[in-house]
A = this chain, B = another copy of it.
Amino acid sequence: MKPINVGLLGIGTVGGGTFRVLQRNSEEISRRAGCEIRMTVVADKDVARAKAVVGNAARVTADANEVVNDPEIDIVVELIGGYGVAKDLMLKAIATGKHVVTANKALLALHGNEIFAAARAKGVTVCFEAAVGGGIPIIKSLREGLTANRIEWIAGIINGTSNFILSEMRDKGAAFAEVLKEAQSMGYAEADPTFDIEGVDAAHKLSIMAAIGFGIPVQFGKAHVEGISRLTQEDIRYAEELGYRIKLLGIAKRKPAGFELRVHPTLIPARQLIANVEGVMNAILVKGDAVGQTMYYGAGAGAEPTASAVVADLVDVARMLTADPEHRVPHLAFQPDRLSDAPILPMGEVETSNYLRLRVEDKAGVLADITRILAVEGISIEALVQKEPSAGEKQVDIILLTHLAQEKKIDAAIARIEALPVVFGKITRIRMEALK
């Protein structure tokens, strides 16, 4: 199958991540896409920086027009950002019949209707999964996964910078200005943080999601936009006392008279799952009339999470260009002739930490016997809790948490411990997962 050639405009953080992911996972990606996807040319004003990233793997040019006009290029990835040059180049790429992948939410929020119309007229597609929620496939979920539904509302934590600041204000009891400085020093907030902290970035993303969810044009200009810069420690504390958390939410809601479109700090019940989304993470809650509430959670920014969305769009276009329509997406995601025959491991080979509960005689030396058996099997103990015996009881519960150990070693240790005369009945074993 002919490879798909990609040209990149702008190799900053996300561009570098995209290049890296395409390189590192090229095998995995071509097994899914059914063809190779290769980045053959990169345009960046800073040619030296671009060369440092791509080495000899792609041609580097300072002239973006060279990419847009290159007849060998199938897809142009626009990661320049902003409304000026990026818009011109995107429209030129469309005019020359190229598909476009972009992460540029600001541009789409302001000029999306015009850009999409141009793409449609030219018979090309503009993909923008990376524009909202970083690596979370929220655009795909809304456009394709929830098509059965009348969407009632969308509410999202869609700006990681402001969520990080709110999380820190709550955790550390610090003031807004102080946490903003910390966020800037950690690279979570830009030198000019206005778009993030004043809700503009969230409103860009919200206006795109609202369009897709409700079937309305992109209408950023009509959104109510309010940020977090005036929030105080007192409000965060009072909200907490009343059972709420304060989050900067982008909210789009269907009403009989029209649609609400607003970004503002919001008190939400602390028991809600989305209230517990902390730090730079994003989450979008979508209410559909059939499906009820669904939530999509993940990293909303960063080089590789955003690259994940850019590359997913590239695979989408590649599948469209090369596969038979009815097998655009292979049943099992990967091409049937490229499935792996790596084995499913037998359970004995599986490694987990373990929770063990034992009932033992309440006398000296019991713990020594048990820990010796674990040591012999090479199982190390993370925690051991001996419960107080009830009045008059001669038996106590012991809870053991182990470090990672192979299942077969745990099985062997359990059998040997159960055989001890001081141990009563069976040991309860429950596996543990840190989910990291």
- Interface residues of chain A, those whose CB is within 8 Å of chain B, are 17, 21-22, 24-25, 28-29, 31-33, 99, 112, 116-117, 119-120, 123-126, 129, 134-137, 140-150, 155, 211-219, 222-224, 230-232, 234-235, 238-239, 241-242, 244, 246, 249, 251, 255, 257-262, 264-269, 272-274, 276-277, 285, 288-299, 304-305, 307-312, 314-316, 320, 324-334, 336, 338-345, 347, 349-350, 355, 357, 383, 385, 397, 399, 401, 428, 430-435
Contact = CB atoms under 8 A, between A and B. Distances in A.
A239 B299 contact: no
Given A258-B343, A326-B125, A344-B259, A147 B312 contact: yes
B399 A238 contact: yes
A238 to B, nearest CB: 5
Nearest to A328: B320
11 contacts: A119-B331, A155-B433, A214-B342, A215-B334, A224-B350, A230-B428, A257-B342, A258-B345, A266-B430, A291-B298, A295-B296
Contact of A291 (B292, B293, B304): B304
Given A124-B326, A308-B146, A332 B215 contact: yes
A395 to B, nearest CB: 13
Nearest to A224: B347
A393 B177 CA distance: 27
B298 A123 contact: no
A26 to B, nearest CB: 11
Given A149-B308, A219-B344, A258-B342, 7 more contacts: A148-B310, A238-B355, A257-B349, A261-B344, A269-B435, A272-B435, A288-B308
Given A224-B347, A292-B298, A355-B267, A145 B140 contact: yes
A218 B143 CA distance: 28
B215 A123 contact: no
Q: Main secondary structure on chain A at its contact with chain B?
A: mixed
Nearest to A293: B298
A92 to B, nearest CB: 18
A257 B343 contact: yes
Given A305-B292, A344-B258, A399-B238, A312 B249 contact: no
A371 to B, nearest CB: 18
A342 B211 CA distance: 11
A218 B332 contact: yes
A52 B141 CA distance: 33
A160 B264 CA distance: 34
B331 A32 contact: no
A57 to B, nearest CB: 17
A372 B387 CA distance: 58
Contacts of A269: 434-435
A336 B257 contact: no
B333 A142 contact: yes
A147 B350 contact: no
A147 B385 contact: no
B28 A150 contact: yes
Nearest to A257: B345
A297 B241 CA distance: 28
Contacts of A274: 435
Nearest to A345: B258
Contacts of A397: 234, 238
A91 to B, nearest CB: 14
